[in-house]
Structure 1
């Protein structure tokens, strides 16, 4: 009975692709890793840009609201103040009526300011998702199998 040589278990378990990859040089492997890292950083940069655009849009909307509130407040102050001052002047005198109206509009302006400021605080200048994925990438580079 003739014995047929069997392949060793280490080469039998590997696919042809894995056997070919084992023959690559260290320089080729390093080149692939470098290319992968460059691609990863490009993707992270694209994510950071997208997040910053999103935050800039939120800031623009908040600034638009603050500007609109300022203009509307100004127009309201001008038009209604004249009417209210002349109406109050019949009761307390023109000077006192103007002072009362100025205080009322100062209160309204303060309310709009605080509302706009609270909306502006919702804007985050740091790209949170990008920072988190960069941390994950750093953990992966330190421990690629775990």
Structure 2
């Protein structure tokens, strides 16, 4: 059986992994067609179908892996932006405290008020997050479907007397 690669891969194995393929012309097909039995034809068809399914699974796996890698690389930029935003929020809160101090509050009271406001917001968002996380449940429909399928397959294989 021959091996093929995607347009991005090389035949020497670099790039995407090699995927088994069904040959376009079988050497046995070039021989006398009348010499093949039905059993041989069924065996060849089964082999080709199995190879086709494995090739499709391998292709899907390589495509999903490639897309996940793209997503991870893209999310790194979002994480860096979030870190910069979080560090820059320090200056926002510092400026807010200075603004309160300019309105006549003592500097220590202004900074304390900003600190307490930040704690209140953090507590509020932590409670909202906790409420959402508590509602997470197991995928019951999927579990029941898998159990039903397993039960149907085991019943099908059993012989009744």
TM-score tier after normalising by the smaller chain length = 0.3 to 0.5
Highest relative contact order (Cα 8 Å, sep 6+), 1 or 2? 1
Structure with bigger helix share is 1
TM-score of the pair, normalised by structure 1:
0.46
